[in-house]
A = this chain, B = another copy of it.
């Protein structure tokens, strides 16, 4: 593994739950020698990707990420473009909408929107990276990946997260085929108990699946009518965001979604 990758991996250690990390912790988490870690994090600091803060001299993500993301959004409006659609989706369905994007080997949260309808809602703050096997977004993205990718994911350990998590590779393979057949995925309490969710895939200009939009609701609110409504709103949002991102929906997806509506 190259030095640069090691340094960048440090950035991945910062999460919503753990936004501040001291040098020793950082070294432990990254499994690096403290001196090595110090050198790397110092270089990240000099660039501004990380900054040192407070009396304990802990580290956190720095202001350079803002600068870079402003630049990126100016050229490829991704988050900014999708957020209004996401908010509309949350409003239409009365539930929590969620946007995720495939980055390298993992599916990352890009944003979410809450409806103002209910007092109870599914919060998404805690899930930075989504497990492929236990979320509707994960399932739908995985379903539309090339086979080697799918198998690589299934070859890894598949943790049981709730009582309803599917953990057998064979069953998951069948599940993915089913998802491909219907053009969307559904998860019933496999990630968090009591949370049902549905997701549709997003595609880039070359027809590759690069992410997903999902709606998550408390199981008790997931009536058959509500499922139909969500499915309808989701396919609309999915095709809208795909278009905004300059992508094109594969023909079979278009027909599947048209049938569903």
**Which residues from chain B contact A69 at a C-beta distance below 8 Å?**
65-66, 68-69
- Listed by A's residue number, 21 A-B pairs whose Cβ atoms lie within 8 Å are A2-B3, A3-B3, A4-B7, A7-B7, A8-B44, A16-B74, A60-B72, A61-B68, A63-B72, A63-B110, A65-B65, A65-B71, A66-B69, A66-B72, A66-B110, A67-B101, A67-B103, A67-B110, A68-B68, A70-B109, A71-B128
What CA separation (Å) do A260 and B58 show in the bound complex? 39
Cβ of A64 to closest chain B Cβ, rounded Å? 6
Interface range for A: 35 or more
Chain B contacts for A66, CB-based, 8 A: 69, 72-73, 78-79, 101, 110
Copies in the complex: 2
- A111 close to chain B: CB less than 8 A: yes
**Known interface pairs A47-B104, A48-B104. Does A39 touch B2 (Cβ–Cβ under 8 Å)?**
yes
The residue on B at minimum CB distance from A80 is: B66
Instruction: State the Cβ distance, A21 to closest chain B Cβ, in Å.
Output: 12
Interface residues in A21-49 (C-beta closer than 8 Å to B): 39-40, 43-44, 46-49
Cβ contact within 8 Å between B4 and A67? no
**In the complex, A76 has a CB within 8 A of chain B:** yes
- Chain B, residue nearest A48 (CB): B103
- A62 at interface, CB cutoff 8 A: yes
- From B63, B74, B111, contact of A103 by CB (8 A): B63
Is the Cβ of B5 less than 8 Å from the Cβ of A47?
yes
Contacts of A70 in B (CB 8 A): 79, 109-111
A232 beta carbon closer than 8 Å to chain B: no
The verdict on A11 contacting chain B, using a C-beta distance below 8 Å, is: yes
A8–B49 CB distance below 8 A: yes
